[in-house]
C-alpha cells in the first residue's frame, strides 16, 4: 500500500530541478559542455530532471531506460516538428525531413533512403581517394594544418560529389554561415531570432538556395540513364505521402540538407578521431598497420575497410566519447509517464542519449580511450540502449552507414599519404559547441612527412 502511494506521489510531483544561477539558470553549463552537464544531472538527480536555461524550461530524460523508451515509444509522444519547423519554414517549405513526424516522415525517409545509403559513397571511392590525396599532397613537410576547418571542407566536397555530382567548395563559407545561424537562431534558440535578418546571413542563404537550384537544373538537363543515380535523381522522382511530386521549395530544401549535413557531424567526428589517434600512439600504430596492409591497392576498397578492425574500433570509440548527436531534442505532443513522473504536453524535452556512453556499468573506465572494448568477447556497445551516436527512434541518422564509411576512408587515406603529429605535441583537447561539439581552433596538426 505504501509503495502504491509513493508512486502516486511521484507521478503528481514535478521531477527534481538542477541547481543554477539566478536568471541564467543552467544556460552557461549547457553552452560549455552539455553532455557532461547531462551526465552530472543523471548521477545527482536520476533519469528525469528539469533544467532552467534563461527563459527556457526543459525536461531531461537520461540513462538506458530513456534511450529504450525513445527507441520503442518516444516517436508517439515526442515530435520533431515543434523544434525544427522554423528551420523548414526558413527554407520556405513544410516538407523537410528533420521537421516531419509520423507517416509523412516515414514516407519521405523511404524515398531518400538509397541516396543516403553507404553505396552512394562507396561507388565513388576512386574519386574520393584522388580528392583526399590531392589535398594532402599539397601540404608541405613542416606545415601546420588547422584540422577541423580543413576536414569540414574535405568532407563537404566528398558529400557534394556523392549525393549531387557537384563540388560545393565555392559555397563552403556560405554553407557554414547558413548552418550555424539557422541552427542557433531557429532551432536551438541560443541566438536572437533577429540574426535571421542579418545581411551576412541573408546573402549566404541566397547563395545556398541558388546552389541548390543549379544542382536541380543540372540533374533535370542530364537524366541519370547514362550514370549512377544519386540522391537528387531520387528526389526528382519522389512524391509526398498523398502521391504528389515534391514542390520546388521542398526539392531545394532536400538538396541543401546533405550539403550541410556533414559539416558539423562527420567532419567533427573525424577531427575527434584524428586527435584521439595522435594522442594514443599505440592505437595509431595498430591503425597504421591496418591501413598499410591494404597498400597494395591504389586505395582501400570497402572490403579492405571492413577488415580494418583497429580503425573501426577507434572510430566507434570516438563516436562514444565525442558524440556530436549527444541528445535528441523534441517537444511532447501529449502528456506521458516516464519512470514514475508525468511529462506534460507541449513540453520541450531532451532525451540525453549520450549519457549512457559515460556510465561505467556499460562502459568500464568510460573516460579512457579504449578501442578494444568493441572487440569480442567484450563488445560493450552491443547491449540495447547503451550506444547511440546517431540519435534514437524514427529520426536516427539516415546517413549513418555512409558517414561511418566516409570517416574511416578519409582517415585511412590521410594516414597512408602523410605522417601527422599534434602541434604543439602537448595540446590537450578543448571541445566547443558551435552549435555541435567540435575541437577548438587551437587543434592543429603538423605534417611530419609525406609517405
Mean pLDDT of 256-283: 95
**Does residue 8 register a pLDDT over 80?**
no
Q: 42-56, 287-301, 382-396, 423-437: which has the minimum mean pLDDT? A: 287-301
Which pLDDT band, with edges at 50, 70 and 90, does 223 fall under?
confident
What is the CB neighbour count within 10 angstroms for residue 53? 22
Place of cell 521531477: 15
**Does residue 241 register a pLDDT over 50?**
yes
% pLDDT > 90, the chain: 89
Under a CB-based contact definition with an 8 Å cutoff, are residues 375 and 56 in contact?
Answer: no
Q: Coil, strand, or helix at residue 102?
A: helix
Mean pLDDT of the chain: 94
Regarding beta strands 328-332 and 48-53, do their DSSP bridges make them parallel or antiparallel, or are they unpaired?
A: unpaired
Under a CB-based contact definition with an 8 Å cutoff, are residues 362 and 107 in contact?
Answer: no
**Does residue 393 register a pLDDT over 80?**
yes
Neighbouring residues of 353: CB distance < 8 A, sequence distance ≥ 6? 66, 67, 70, 323, 325, 326, 327, 328, 388, 391, 392
The confidence score (pLDDT) of residue 1 equals 45
Distance between CA 188 and CA 329 in Å, rounded? 9
Q: Is 443 exposed, middle or buried (0-12, 13-18, 19+ CB in 10 A)?
A: buried
Under a CB-based contact definition with an 8 Å cutoff, are residues 414 and 277 in contact?
Answer: no
Regarding beta strands 144-146 and 78-79, do their DSSP bridges make them parallel or antiparallel, or are they unpaired?
A: unpaired
The confidence score (pLDDT) of residue 215 equals 96
Please report, in angstroms and rounded to a whole number, the separation of the first and last CA atoms in the chain: 73
| N residues, the chain | 451
Mean pLDDT of 229-239: 96
Mean pLDDT of 275-293: 96
DSSP H or E run through 349: strand 348-352
The confidence score (pLDDT) of residue 227 equals 77
330 pairs with which residues across the strands?
349
The confidence score (pLDDT) of residue 228 equals 83
Mean pLDDT of 16-42: 95
Distance between CA 63 and CA 314 in Å, rounded? 24
The confidence score (pLDDT) of residue 3 equals 54
DSSP per-residue letters across 286-319: HHHHHHHHTTTSSS--HHHHHH-HHHHHHHHHHH
Neighbouring residues of 69: CB distance < 8 A, sequence distance ≥ 6? 61, 338, 351
Under a CB-based contact definition with an 8 Å cutoff, are residues 383 and 242 in contact?
Answer: no
Mean pLDDT of 173-197: 93
Which pLDDT band, with edges at 50, 70 and 90, does 190 fall under?
confident
Mean pLDDT of 230-246: 96
Distance between CA 103 and CA 325 in Å, rounded? 24
pLDDT, greater one: 83 or 128? 128
Q: Coil, strand, or helix at residue 249?
A: helix
Which pLDDT band, with edges at 50, 70 and 90, does 123 fall under?
very high
Which pLDDT band, with edges at 50, 70 and 90, does 10 fall under?
low
Mean pLDDT of 84-97: 95
Place of cell 573501426: 312
Mean pLDDT of 83-101: 95
Neighbouring residues of 214: CB distance < 8 A, sequence distance ≥ 6? 166
Place of cell 570517416: 407
Cite the DSSP H helix spans in 102-230: 102-112, 119-122, 125-137, 147-164, 172-182, 199-221
Single pTM value for the model: 0.95
Which pLDDT band, with edges at 50, 70 and 90, does 2 fall under?
very low
Q: DSSP letter at 430?
A: -
Mean pLDDT of 445-451: 96
Question: Could you give the dihedral angle defined by the CA atoms of residues 79, 83, 89 and 95, in that order, rounded to the nearest 10 degrees?
Answer: -20
Amino acid at each position: 500500500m505504501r509503495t502504491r502511494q509513493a508512486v502516486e506521489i511521484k507521478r503528481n510531483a514535478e521531477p527534481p530541478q538542477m541547481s543554477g544561477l539566478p536568471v541564467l539558470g543552467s544556460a552557461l553549463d549547457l553552452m560549455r559542455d552539455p553532455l557532461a552537464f547531462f551526465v552530472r544531472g543523471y548521477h545527482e538527480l536520476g533519469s528525469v530532471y528539469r533544467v532552467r536555461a534563461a527563459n527556457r524550461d526543459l525536461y531531461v530524460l537520461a540513462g538506458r531506460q530513456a534511450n529504450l523508451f525513445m527507441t520503442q515509444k518516444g516517436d508517439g509522444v515526442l515530435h520533431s516538428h515543434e523544434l525544427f519547423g522554423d528551420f523548414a519554414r526558413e527554407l520556405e517549405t513544410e516538407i523537410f525531413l528533420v521537421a516531419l513526424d509520423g507517416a509523412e516522415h516515414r514516407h519521405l525517409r523511404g524515398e531518400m533512403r538509397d541516396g543516403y545509403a553507404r553505396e552512394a559513397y562507396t561507388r565513388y571511392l576512386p574519386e574520393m581517394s584522388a580528392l583526399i590525396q590531392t589535398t594532402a599532397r599539397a601540404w608541405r613537410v613542416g606545415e601546420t594544418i588547422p584540422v577541423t576547418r580543413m576536414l569540414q571542407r574535405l568532407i563537404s566536397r566528398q558529400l557534394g560529389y556523392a549525393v549531387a555530382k557537384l563540388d560545393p567548395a565555392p559555397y563552403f563559407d556560405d554553407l557554414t554561415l547558413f548552418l550555424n545561424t539557422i541552427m542557433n537562431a531557429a532551432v536551438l534558440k541560443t541566438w536572437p531570432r533577429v540574426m535571421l535578418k542579418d545581411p551576412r546571413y541573408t546573402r549566404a542563404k541566397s547563395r545556398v538556395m541558388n546552389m541548390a537550384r543549379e544542382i536541380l537544373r543540372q540533374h533535370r538537363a542530364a537524366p541519370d540513364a547514362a550514370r549512377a543515380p544519386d540522391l537528387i535523381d531520387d528526389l526528382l522522382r519522389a512524391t509526398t505521402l498523398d502521391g504528389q511530386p515534391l514542390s520546388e521549395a521542398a526539392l531545394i530544401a532536400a538538396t541543401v540538407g546533405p550539403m550541410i549535413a556533414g559539416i558539423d557531424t562527420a567532419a567533427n567526428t573525424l577531427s575527434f578521431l584524428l586527435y584521439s589517434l595522435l594522442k594514443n600512439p599505440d592505437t595509431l600504430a595498430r591503425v597504421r598497420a591496418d591501413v598499410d596492409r591494404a597498400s597494395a591497392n591504389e586505395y582501400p576498397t570497402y572490403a579492405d575497410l571492413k577488415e580494418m578492425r583497429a580503425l573501426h574500433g577507434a572510430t566507434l570509440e570516438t563516436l562514444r566519447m565525442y558524440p556530436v548527436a549527444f541528445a535528441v531534442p523534441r517537444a511532447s505532443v501529449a502528456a506521458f509517464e516516464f519512470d514514475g513522473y508525468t511529462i506534460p504536453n507541449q513540453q520541450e524535452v531532451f532525451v540525453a542519449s549520450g549519457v549512457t556512453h559515460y556510465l561505467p556499468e556499460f562502459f568500464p573506465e568510460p573516460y579512457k580511450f579504449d578501442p578494444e572494448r568493441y572487440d569480442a568477447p567484450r563488445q560493450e556497445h552491443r547491449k540495447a540502449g547503451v550506444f547511440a551516436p546517431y540519435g534514437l527512434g524514427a529520426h536516427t541518422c539516415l546517413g549513418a552507414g555512409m558517414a561511418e564509411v566516409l570517416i574511416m576512408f578519409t582517415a585511412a587515406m590521410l594516414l597512408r599519404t602523410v605522417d601527422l603529429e599534434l602541434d604543439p605535441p602537448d595540446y590537450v583537447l578543448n571541445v566547443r559547441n558551435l552549435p555541435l561539439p567540435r575541437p577548438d581552433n587551437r587543434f592543429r596538426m603538423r605534417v611530419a612527412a609525406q609517405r
